[in-house]
Amino acid sequence: MTADDALAAVVRELWALGASLGRPPEPTPEVDPWDEADPYPVGDVVAVVAFGGSPSVVVRLDRLGEDEITIEDVLDVDVPRRDVVAVVESVLTGQAWIERPRLPALLRWVGVMFGSAFPGSVRIPGGDERTYSAPLPAAVSSGWLARLPSVEEPGRDTRRWHRP
pLDDT in tens, the chain (164 residues): 677 788 889 999 999 999 999 999 988 656 555 566 655 555 688 888 999 999 999 999 988 888 999 999 889 999 999 999 999 999 999 999 988 777 666 665 565 555 555 567 899 999 888 999 998 876 667 888 888 898 876 654 444 444 44
Q: Which residues contact 95 (CB under 8 A, 6 or more apart)?
A: 124, 125
Rounded distance between C-alpha atoms, residue 9 and residue 18, angstroms: 14
